[in-house]
Amino acid sequence: MKTTNFNNDVIELVWLIPKGRVTSYGAIANYLGAKKSSRMVGWVLNSTFNIPSFPAYRVVNRFGLLSGKSHFSSITKMEELLLIEGVEVENDIVVNFKEIFWDPMIELKL
DNA sequence: ACACTGACCACTG
DNA sequence: CCAGTGGCCAGTG
């Protein structure tokens, strides 16, 4: 596959998400200066299925919904992985999303 | 080359 | 509040 900067940046950033925290596609796209390209973030994540222990499960949509769960090995895998880190999930939605939301724009502060 | 899709998001009426 | 729309752009048929 072609390795673009965007691709690498997204992957780098996702690796930086602390355990027990989550972020959103939009937040990542926004931080990378591609605000309108949040769809691309999802696209990049879809190509990371072959990267062992890549924490793609820490990325959800802006509502805290586990929109990518169907792309994991098991439909419940994403939720399980989050639960292990102490992230509560109910009806495919991160319960305390606002509290544990990790915004690179703030956390990495420029 | 063209049309459509997608792990999305913000804006508009 | 809900539906529609535009923007982004790589992959696929």
pTM for this structure?
0.91
Average pLDDT over residues A72-94: 95
Q: Which nucleotides of C are covered by protein (CB under 7 A)?
A: 6-11
Give residue A37's pLDDT.
85
Give residue A34's pLDDT.
79
Find out whether A89 and A66 touch, Cβ atoms under 8 Å. yes
Instruction: Reply yes or no on whether the pLDDT at A4 is more than 80.
Output: no
Say how far apart CA A13 and CA A36 lie, in whole Å: 17
Average pLDDT over residues A10-20: 96
Q: Walk me through the domains of chain A, giving residue ranges and CATH numbers.
A: 5-101 (1.10.10.10)
Least confident of A2-6, A20-24, A50-54, A57-61: A2-6
Give residue A66's pLDDT.
95
Give residue A75's pLDDT.
92
Q: Is A24 (CB) below 7 Å from strand C?
A: no
CA-based R_g, chain A, Å? 13
Say how far apart CA A45 and CA A78 lie, in whole Å: 13
Q: For residue A48, which nucleotide's C1' is closest to its Cα?
A: B7
